[in-house]
């Protein structure tokens, strides 16, 4: 009989904190919530912040600490962007769930307060009509139901909803916090990570702990238990620094055809251009030999190109336009031809 190979769970889920106090370094949020949990009288809540900072984790941990495993399924409704979020869902599913009152039976030592929780994850993708329809529901059933909204941008939540909620901002995680968490996971999984790889992981994940853990797990799968900087860069989709530098060098040559050839090579190598623009911006801003006026011109063009890419424009044309404008800026050529 062959030994049963255990199915490896994603580490993002495996190491997700189960208690509110374990959520890493969102001190203000954790302190307020811990106090509030003792009284078990929660307001409606709005969690917002960048991705991978613990918003969903905190919401689930609160629900778990209030109800425990037995009542969790019946007392907590979780909706995501993957479910239909139109006005129809608000009128039916959410209202039906919110309208039913609950008893105060206590199970297994958990507080089990006499209300239910509806978690609306990724609330910023709800339509405005759906958000408006929610206002009355929130007020009418506030005795028996509490709403948790989770989003990346608080500006996408309409003001009437936001004003009914206690707001909690989740900060991007600092490098030190991220490093501690990553090292803990490395110890548990038997990985070795040198200091440079650790710094690289923090850099490429930009304060997003979920991304960092995913990269770490991917690199461990592909490259075994000893992981280097290069391994992390290759699984993350970040672009090697020499590629960005060679693009800048081709622009400094002043020849359009040289830059065009370099752009063609970058596209053929499959590097994502939005990532390249982001890294190119860093290189331009940190360059010592470029005057401020030239930097301003190039950065303006990079911003425009980024917007065009988000709209779905072609990558080759946008990158060529960026390279062309960089050449013109570096050599102080006019932005528009005059004859």
The residue within the footprint of other proteins, chosen from 2, 3, 7, 159 (CB under 8 A), is 7
Task: Determine if 316 is a binding residue for other proteins (CB under 8 A).
Answer: yes
Residue 203 Cβ vs other proteins, minimum distance, rounded to whole Å: 15
Q: Which is nearer to other proteins, 145 or 217 (CB)?
A: 217
| Alpha carbons 194 and 227: distance in angstroms, whole number | 8
Residue 78, classed as helix, strand or coil, is strand
DSSP state of 325: H
Task: Determine if 299 is a binding residue for other proteins (CB under 8 A).
Answer: no
- Establish whether 109 is an annotated binding residue: no
Residue 7 Cβ vs other proteins, minimum distance, rounded to whole Å: 5
The residue within the footprint of other proteins, chosen from 23, 161, 273, 330 (CB under 8 A), is 273
Q: Which is nearer to other proteins, 164 or 297 (CB)?
A: 297
| Alpha carbons 301 and 325: distance in angstroms, whole number | 7
* Span of 35-43, 67-75, 168-176, 309-317 interacting with other proteins by CB under 8 A: 309-317
Q: Are 111 and 69 in contact, with CB atoms under 8 Å apart?
A: no
Nearest to 257 by CA among 327, 209, 202: 327
Q: Write the CB contacts of 85 (distance below 8 Å, at least 6 apart in sequence).
A: 79, 125, 126, 127, 130
The residue within the footprint of other proteins, chosen from 98, 165, 186, 235 (CB under 8 A), is 235
How long, in residues, is the chain? 339
| Alpha carbons 1 and 311: distance in angstroms, whole number | 55
Task: Determine if 221 is a binding residue for other proteins (CB under 8 A).
Answer: yes
Q: Which is nearer to other proteins, 289 or 311 (CB)?
A: 311
Residue 31 Cβ vs other proteins, minimum distance, rounded to whole Å: 29
- Establish whether 49 is an annotated binding residue: yes
Residue 335 Cβ vs other proteins, minimum distance, rounded to whole Å: 9
The residue within the footprint of other proteins, chosen from 16, 36, 95, 125 (CB under 8 A), is 125
Nearest to 145 by CA among 99, 78, 85, 93: 99
DSSP state of 296: H
Where helices occur in 190-291 by DSSP H, the ranges are 195-205, 209-223, 229-236, 241-252, 256-268, 273-286
Nearest to 97 by CA among 89, 106, 85, 86: 89
Task: Determine if 88 is a binding residue for other proteins (CB under 8 A).
Answer: yes
The dihedral built from the CA positions of residue 145, 149, 155 and 156, taken in this order, carries a sign that is negative
Task: Determine if 293 is a binding residue for other proteins (CB under 8 A).
Answer: no
- 150: β partners: 47
Residue 106 Cβ vs other proteins, minimum distance, rounded to whole Å: 30
* Cβ-based burial of 4 (10 A; exposed 0-12, middle 13-18, buried ≥19): exposed
| Alpha carbons 239 and 242: distance in angstroms, whole number | 8
Q: Which is nearer to other proteins, 28 or 83 (CB)?
A: 83
Residue 214 Cβ vs other proteins, minimum distance, rounded to whole Å: 6
Q: Are 78 and 121 in contact, with CB atoms under 8 Å apart?
A: yes
- Establish whether 240 is an annotated binding residue: no
Q: Which is nearer to other proteins, 30 or 204 (CB)?
A: 204
The residue within the footprint of other proteins, chosen from 31, 107, 317, 332 (CB under 8 A), is 317
- Establish whether 56 is an annotated binding residue: no
Residues that constitute the known binding site for ATP: 48-55
Annotated binding site: 48-55
Residues forming contacts to other proteins in the complex (CB under 8 A) are 5, 7-8, 10, 51-52, 80-84, 86, 88-89, 92, 121-122, 125, 208, 210-211, 214, 217-218, 221-222, 234-237, 255-257, 260, 264, 267-275, 305, 308-309, 311-318, 320-321, 324-325, 327-328, 333, 336-337, 339
């Amino acid at each position: 009989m062959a030994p049963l190979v255990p199915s490896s769970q994603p580490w993002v889920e495996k190491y997700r904190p189960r208690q509110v106090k374990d959520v890493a370094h969102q001190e203000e949020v954790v302190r307020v919530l811990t106090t509030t949990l003792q009284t078990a009288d929660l307001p409606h809540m709005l969690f917002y912040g960048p991705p991978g900072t613990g918003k969903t984790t905190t919401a689930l941990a609160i629900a778990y600490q209030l109800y425990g495993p037995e009542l969790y399924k019946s007392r907590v409704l979780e909706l995501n962007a993957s479910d239909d979020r139109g006005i129809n869902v608000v009128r039916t599913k959410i209202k039906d769930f919110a309208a039913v009152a609950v008893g105060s039976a206590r199970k297994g030592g958990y507080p089990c307060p006499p209300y239910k929780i509806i978690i609306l994850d990724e609330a910023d993708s709800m339509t405005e009509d759906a958000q408006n329809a929610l206002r009355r529901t929130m007020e009418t059933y506030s005795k028996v139901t509490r709403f948790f909204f989770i989003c990346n941008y608080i500006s996408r939540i309409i003001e009437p909803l936001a004003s009914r909620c206690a707001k909690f901002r989740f900060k991007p995680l600092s490098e030190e916090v991220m490093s501690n968490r990553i090292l803990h996971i490395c110890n548990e999984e038997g990985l070795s990570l040198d200091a440079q790889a650790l710094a690289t992981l923090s850099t490429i994940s930009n304060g997003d702990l979920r991304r960092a853990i995913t990269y770490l797990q991917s690199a461990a799968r592909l490259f075994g238990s000893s992981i280097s900087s290069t391994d992390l860069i290759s699984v993350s989709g970040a672009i090697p620094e020499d590629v960005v530098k060679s693009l800048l060098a081709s622009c400094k040559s002043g020849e359009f055809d040289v830059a065009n050839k370099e752009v063609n090579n970058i596209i053929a190598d499959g590097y994502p251009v939005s990532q390249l623009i982001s890294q190119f911006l860093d290189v331009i801003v940190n360059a010592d030999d470029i005057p401020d006026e030239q930097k301003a011109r190039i950065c303006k063009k990079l911003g425009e190109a980024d917007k065009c890419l988000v709209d779905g424009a072609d990558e080759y044309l946008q990158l060529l336009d960026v390279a062309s404008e960089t050449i013109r800026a570096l050599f102080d050529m006019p932005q528009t031809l005059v004859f």
